[in-house]
Structure 1
Amino acid sequence: MNDDFSSSAPRTPLTLLGTGAMGTALGRAWLAAGHPLTVWNRTPERTAELTAEGAVAAGSAAEAVAANRLVVACLLDDASVGTALEGADLTGRDLVNLTTGTPADARARSAWATERGARFLDGGIMAVPPMIGAPGAFVLYSGDPGLFQEHRDTLAVPAGTEYVGADPGLAALYDVALLSGMYGMFAGVTHAFALLRGADVALKEFAGLLVPWLNAMAGMAHDTAGRLESGDYTTGVVSNLAMQAGNDTLLRTAVEQGVSTELLAPFVELMRRRLADGHGDEDTTGLVDLLRTR
């Protein structure tokens, strides 16, 4: 959250399309910082929280867009953005799309907005609603660099900003890549607790061991990035595939504990495939190449 404002400086007015849980959190942060806010939601009653705090509710999305040059969309999906803005005049507008979508969605929506006379910025929110306005929340942005620079301070009010490039699809790509890493971690945590579920174990005490262990292991992402960029997958490897893939302890223990191997087995299989291809002296970096389909 950006607090670097003079108390007398005028705040940029903006329009917010979508007042669900995330939209409401964003709108509340902008209102608290003194930004005049126009809001619209397909279900009008859902704007009540923000209008009670000073926002102005528009009767239609087109009316909301007409109210301000800076327009932020935080809707259900890409299709809902197109539907909401179908009758709106986007000429001269700066459209910031914080609706979750794919890189292809973002690129197509950027072209769509440009054809209608608007500048376009796509965003990926790396936070849940309670995090908005607090340290740690950030939004990935990609698209029109001029739009980002002009509105950077306003966009930084509810969450930190990370501009990742002019390609409109990059924010969505980064977003999904980060979430994929998160869900991979969730899968590992799920399997770990399944192993312990039937044992005489204090699960909270185990969590106290698991969290610092995962934090310590997360640093391997820097090694993987470095090896992928250099093309050298073997220098400095301390735990190679010959050691990891050749050991069936993980899967045998799961079977002994009455736990399905469906979360762990695909990764073990990838390691074994890479090992069988003659890469036993590598770490897991080469699995990235196995996953690529083009």
Structure 2
Amino acid sequence: MNNTDTPVTVIGLGLMGQALAGAFLKAGHPTTVWNRTASKADGLVARGARLAPTVGDAVRAGSLTVICVTDYQAVRELFGTSDVELDGTTLVNLTSGDSAQARETARWAEQRGARYLDGAVMAVPPAVGTPEAVILHSGPQADFDAHKPTLDALGTVTHLGADHGLASLYDVAGLAMMWSVLNAWLQGTALLRTAGVDAATYAPFARRIAAGVAEWLPGYAEQIDSGSFPAEVSALETDARAMAHLIEESEAVGVNAELPKLFKAMADRSIAAGNGGKQYPVLIEEFSRPGTD
């Protein structure tokens, strides 16, 4: 079979599931779908998809089944019934969950004779099927390689490693970046609005700052991986003084200072531990400890 001859099954037809099935159809793959509410398949059926009457029938339609449902418990409930034969199939689970659930579900699937890849979609549904959609996968390399030509229909597919939990960890690490950048931008926007500067005016400047900070990451990563934090640019104690200035300015103009206070509390703990003369990435030691309530 060539790439577009490969039959694919998609289980779960929320907005993301419909986008996944639509991308396979657009690439020419025979596509079988199943959803608890069958009417969600109407648009896909009109485009050439086959609606399976049961989950078991859907899995039997091909050797590759892509899952995108509510949570990992739903995966186990759907595929744990007696009429679903998993032996010999490959499950690609793009359901959101945590790394422990991914590893547990991998063991559960493998005990039933299935090959299993866990994954995460780093894109909104309209981007699926384009290069902008990054689809993360973790699990055995051989299983990923066997199905990569088919999975390529979804976007830019990436294999992270054999540990089934990696896709989930990368997913939440990406969310941490997203919310941190957005919250920092909102803090700055709130500050500038007190002087009559609107968000649209500030946004290009903020974008340049974010891009500039991103350029520091490879060098900072080297410090973290080596465990050595020489103050090549700025010492943490200098950064802490700037954080204090941010807090003072926020409070002076009536802007919420909770976020910069959090930054400074972590920096202060690190400085108290003797890290004041080291560079900012030394804070990895604070981030690597359990939080306190």
**In 2, Cα distance between equivalents of 1:259 and 1:94:** 52
**In 1, Cα distance between equivalents of 2:246 and 2:15:** 40
Go from structure 1 to structure 2 and tell me whether the alpha carbon gap of 1:9 and 1:121 turns closer, same or farther (over 3 Å shift).
closer
**In 1, Cα distance between equivalents of 2:199 and 2:166:** 39
Q: What 5-or-longer segments of structure 1 have no aligned partner?
A: 1-5
**In 2, Cα distance between equivalents of 1:284 and 1:257:** 27
> What is the aligned counterpart of 1:265 among 261, 269, 289?
261
1:238 Cα deviation after fit: 0.8
Partner in structure 1 of residue 212 of structure 2: 216
1:46 aligns with 2:65: no
Partner in structure 1 of residue 64 of structure 2: 70
**In 2, Cα distance between equivalents of 1:265 and 1:118:** 49
> What is the aligned counterpart of 1:130 among 126, 133, 141?
126
Q: Which amino acid aligns with 2:236?
A: L
1:113 aligns with 2:126: no
1:85 aligns with 2:83: no
Contact 1:17 1:72 (8 Å CA) reproduced: yes
**In 2, Cα distance between equivalents of 1:92 and 1:60:** 18
**In 2, Cα distance between equivalents of 1:202 and 1:262:** 22
Partner in structure 2 of residue 191 of structure 1: 187
**In 2, Cα distance between equivalents of 1:240 and 1:207:** 28
Identity %: 38
TM-score (norm 2): 0.94
Q: Which amino acid aligns with 1:105?
A: Q
Partner in structure 2 of residue 148 of structure 1: 144
1:194 Cα deviation after fit: 1.7
Please provide the CA RMSD for this pair. 1.6
> What is the aligned counterpart of 1:18 among 12, 37, 41?
12
Contact 1:71 1:96 (8 Å CA) reproduced: yes
Partner in structure 1 of residue 238 of structure 2: 243
SS of equivalent to 1:162: strand
Task: Answer with 117-126 or 187-196: which moved more.
Answer: 187-196
Contact 1:16 1:27 (8 Å CA) reproduced: yes
1:289 aligns with 2:290: no
1:135 Cα deviation after fit: 2.2
**In 1, Cα distance between equivalents of 2:167 and 2:44:** 27
Partner in structure 2 of residue 275 of structure 1: 271
Go from structure 1 to structure 2 and tell me whether the alpha carbon gap of 1:271 and 1:187 turns closer, same or farther (over 3 Å shift).
same
List per-residue Cα deviations over 1:217-255 (Å, max 9, x = no partner): 1122212211011111115x2122121113311000110
SS of equivalent to 1:165: coil
Q: Which amino acid aligns with 1:108?
A: E
Partner in structure 2 of residue 3 of structure 1: none
Contact 1:122 1:168 (8 Å CA) reproduced: yes
**In 1, Cα distance between equivalents of 2:209 and 2:45:** 46
**In 2, Cα distance between equivalents of 1:239 and 1:231:** 17
**In 1, Cα distance between equivalents of 2:118 and 2:169:** 11
List per-residue Cα deviations over 1:108-156 (Å, max 9, x = no partner): 0000000000000001111111111222211111112221011001111
**In 2, Cα distance between equivalents of 1:156 and 1:19:** 20
Contact 1:13 1:35 (8 Å CA) reproduced: yes
1:195 Cα deviation after fit: 1.5
> What is the aligned counterpart of 1:56 among 37, 47, 50?
50
Report which of the two has the higher share of helix: 2
**Once superposed, which parts of structure 1, at least 4 consecutive aligned residues long, lie more than 6 Å away?**
none
